Structures are given as structure tokens and as C-alpha cells.
């Protein structure tokens, strides 16, 4: 079924997702704060919207923005999408609190679905994201063709949208913890004379045969932290969101403190353009490598 889809936020992830919607034959209208990022999509058949609201007049409007402030600007700002007829499908990694607010504020209009994603830009380009969706069943069903065009699988986690954001934040915490653990183990091995690549081959060939260890393990072995597929400041934003959620739910997360500090150090030492896996560089440096 061909849908009329608005797409707002054409960064590393959003641009690739919007391209797949165009590719799937949907009628796609795009908006980005920096307008030039829409050019390539317009050349491929998308329509350029002059404002976020203009992109939200169809069946669905998907947003993929940096953080809470960016999404708030697009929803509540001048010419924002608040009150627009399209179902708002929110893919950004945002706070649980903002998801709750958007659910309440958009209930009367098109409605709100939380649909954060797992997968880095190459997965977005290959339409191989994992979507974690939560919201009213009828709304999610209506968005089905749009979600199918960007993902390999859509998980449903109930009717409360913010639950999807909690799942996403939990997942990102686990990714960072896995990267930290791998970086520490590789540093130990390297200092003891074992090639990190060999360690990774053994571990991913035995007990750690999972995408997260393979993808990030290779980046750590190659110390390939630029260009960033997921920028460290966005990763730090996520760890801060995890901390806020943990505070609200009175959940001690001591490991979170470690990875968050290492992310801060990675940005302090490497700048804001490094990938969040640059915690590996911090771990090595702390060990004198
Ligand atoms: P990105 O490349 O930095 O893109 C950020 C987007 O947000 C750009 O379109 C940017 O517009 C827009 N933006 C920022 N501030 C804004 C504001 N105040 N008003 C309007 N638009 C604003 O980030 P990304 O890597 O695509 O990530 C997007 C979201 O997906 C984030 O929530 C991230 O945590 C999440 N995520 C990322 C990955 C990943 O691996 N990269 C994976 C899963 C989820 P401009 O072009 O004008 O700057």
C-alpha cells in the first residue's frame, strides 16, 4: 500500500531511512533544519516541505532527530507538527518523559507512536533496522508499510509509547557496557602480548557470537573511531537519559557511571566528532598504551 509519508530529520540515520521510503514507492515529503540535506532525496523523487507542519499533512510523519530539544522544536516550535493530521512516528532516541508528554499532547490529532530503532547508518541504508514500536494497535497497524520499508523486523512492546524508549535506552546502555568490557579485555590482551584481533576471533567464535561484539569489536581492533557512525555526544546524551530514567525508577546502575565517564573522556580527548566506541581509546590510554 502506497502511503503519504512525511520525514523530518535527514541526518545520518534519517537520510538513509527516507531514501528507503522513496525506494519503496511511497509519496515522501521531507524537511530538515539545514535544507541542503534534502537535495539528494528531492532528486530521487521526494517533495521538499517548507515547514515541519507541511510534512505532516499525509498519513504518517516520521521524525529522526538528534535529541529531546530537536524534537521539541519540531513538534512545539513555529510551524511545528502539533495538531497535524498525520500519525507521528517518533524514531529518535529521546527521554521517557518527553515520550509521555508527546503521547498526551498528540492524542487528539493524528496520534503518537514511539518507534526507536537499533542499527547504525549502514543498517539504516540497507533497510535492516530493528524497530521497537509501542502505541495504540490501530495506529501501529496504520504505519505498518512505512515501518516495513525501513526495517528487517518490528518488535511490539505494548500500547504505552514510552515503554519503547525505555527498551531503546536499556539497549544502548548494554551496547556501551559491551564496548567497555571488550575494550578492557583487548587492552589486557594487548599488554600481555596477544593480538586484539585474535582475542576477538576466539571470543566471537565461541561465547560472544553476537552482532554487537562483531560490529564494535572490529572497530576497537582497528581503532576506527572516525568518521562517527554514531557520534559520541549523542551516545553521552543517551547515557544521561538512562541515568534520568534510572533515577525516576530508583534503580542503581553502577556500571552506567563508568561508561558515562569514559564517554565524557572520549569527547574531552577526541572531540565531538568521534564515534561513541572511542571509549576504547580512553581505556587504552588509561592503561598507558
Ligand atoms: P545526526 O546525523 O546528528 O542528525 C541529527 C538530526 O537532527 C539532523 O537532521 C539535524 O538537523 C537535526 N537537528 C538537530 N538539532 C535540531 C534542532 N534544534 N531543530 C531541528 N532539527 C535538529 O544524528 P543521527 O546519527 O542521525 O541520530 C538521530 C537520532 O537517532 C538520535 O536520537 C540518535 O540517538 C538516534 N540513533 C542513532 C543511531 C546511529 O547509529 N547513528 C542509531 C540508532 C538511533 P541539521 O542537519 O540541521 O543539523
- Tell me the whole-structure pTM to 2 decimals: 0.96
Please identify, among 110, 133, 159, the residue that sits at the C-terminal boundary of a domain. 159
For residues 33 and 11, state if they share a domain: yes
Per-residue pLDDT of the chain (289 residues; tens, 9 = 90+): 899 999 999 999 999 999 999 999 999 999 999 999 999 999 999 999 999 999 999 999 999 999 999 999 999 999 999 999 999 999 999 999 999 999 999 988 899 999 999 999 999 999 999 999 999 999 999 999 999 999 999 999 999 999 999 999 999 999 999 999 999 999 999 999 999 999 999 999 999 999 999 999 999 999 999 999 999 999 999 999 999 999 999 999 999 999 999 999 999 999 999 999 999 999 999 999 9
Query: What's 140's domain CATH number?
Result: 3.40.50.720
Q: Which atom of ligand 1 is nearest to the CA of 94?
A: 32
For residues 16 and 150, state if they share a domain: yes
* Ligand 1 contacts CB of residue 73 (under 6 A): yes
For atom 46 of ligand 1, the residue with the nearest CA is 34
Check if 191 is active-site.
no
For residues 63 and 173, state if they share a domain: no
Look at residue 122 in the predicted model and tell me its pLDDT. 96
* Ligand 1 contacts CB of residue 234 (under 6 A): yes
The secondary element (H helix, E strand) that includes residue 3 is: none
Please identify, among 129, 159, 189, the residue that sits at the C-terminal boundary of a domain. 159
Query: What's 231's domain CATH number?
Result: 1.10.1040.10
Look at residue 191 in the predicted model and tell me its pLDDT. 98
Its domain, for residue 153, covers: 4-159
Q: Which atom of ligand 1 is nearest to the CA of 37?
A: 46
Residues 6 or more apart whose CB falls under 8 angstroms from that of 102 comprise 71, 75, 88, 90, 112, 161
For residues 35 and 150, state if they share a domain: yes
> Cell triple for residue 32?
530538515
For residues 115 and 210, state if they share a domain: no
Look at residue 109 in the predicted model and tell me its pLDDT. 87
Domain total in the chain: 2
Look at residue 182 in the predicted model and tell me its pLDDT. 98
Q: 35-64 burial, b for 16+ CB within 10 Å, e for fewer?
A: eebbeebeeeebbebeebbbbbbbbbbbbb
The secondary element (H helix, E strand) that includes residue 126 is: none
Please identify, among 137, 159, 181, the residue that sits at the C-terminal boundary of a domain. 159
* Ligand 1 contacts CB of residue 228 (under 6 A): no
132 and 167 Cβ atoms separated by less than 8 Å: yes
Distance CA 215, CA 197 (A): 13
Q: Please name every residue paired with 28 in a beta bridge, in sequence order, or none if there are none.
A: 5
User: For residue 275, what is the DSSP state?
Assistant: B
**d(CA 90, ligand 1 centre) in Å:** 12
For residues 177 and 237, state if they share a domain: yes
User: DSSP states of 74-109 as a string?
Assistant: HHHSTT-STT-SSEEEE-S---HHHHHHHHHHTTTT
* Ligand 1 contacts CB of residue 179 (under 6 A): no
**Residue 79, CB-side half-sphere exposure with 13 Å CA sphere:** 11
Amino acid at each position: 500500500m502506497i502511503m503519504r509519508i512525511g520525514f523530518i530529520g535527514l541526518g545520518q540515520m534519517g537520510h538513509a531511512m527516507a531514501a528507503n521510503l522513496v525506494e519503496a514507492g511511497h509519496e515522501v515529503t521531507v524537511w530538515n533544519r539545514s535544507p541542503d540535506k534534502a537535495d539528494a532525496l528531492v532528486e530521487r523523487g521526494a517533495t521538499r516541505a517548507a515547514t515541519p507542519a507541511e510534512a505532516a499533512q499525509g498519513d504518517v510523519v516520521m521524525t529522526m532527530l538528534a535529541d529531546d530539544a530537536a524534537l521539541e522544536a519540531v513538534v512545539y516550535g513555529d510551524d511545528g507538527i502539533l495538531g497535524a493530521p498525520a500519525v507521528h512516528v517518533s524514531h529518535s532516541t529521546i527521554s521517557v518523559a518527553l515520550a509521555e508528554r508527546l503521547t498526551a499532547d498528540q492524542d487528539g490529532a493524528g496520534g503518537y507512536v514511539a518507534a526507536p530503532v537499533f542499527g547504525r547508518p549502514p543498517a539504516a541504508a540497507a533497510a535492516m533496522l530493528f524497530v521497537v514500536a509501542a502505541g495504540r494497535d490501530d495506529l501501529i497497524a496504520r504505519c505498518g508499510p512505512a515501518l516495513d520499508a525501513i526495517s528487517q523486523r518490528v518488535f511490539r512492546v505494548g500500547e504505552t509509547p514510552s515503554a519503547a524508549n525505555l527498551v531503546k535506552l536499556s539497549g544502548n546502555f548494554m551496547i556501551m557496557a559491551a564496548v567497555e568490557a571488550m575494550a578492557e579485555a583487548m587492552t589486557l590482551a594487548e599488554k600481555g602480548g596477544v593480538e586484539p584481533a585474535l582475542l576477538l576471533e576466539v571470543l566471537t567464535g565461541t561465547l560472544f557470537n553476537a552482532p554487537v561484539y562483531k560490529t564494535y569489536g572490529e572497530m576497537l581492533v582497528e581503532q576506527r573511531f572516525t568518521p562517527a557512525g554514531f557520534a559520541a555526544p549523542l551516545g553521552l546524551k543517551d547515557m544521561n537519559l538512562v541515568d534520568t530514567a534510572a533515577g525516576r525508577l530508583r534503580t542503581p546502575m553502577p556500571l552506567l557511571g563508568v561508561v558515562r565517564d569514559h564517554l565524557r573522556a572520549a569527547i574531552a580527548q577526541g572531540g565531538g566528532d568521534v564515534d561513541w566506541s572511542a571509549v576504547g581509546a580512553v581505556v587504552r590510554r588509561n592503561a598507558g598504551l
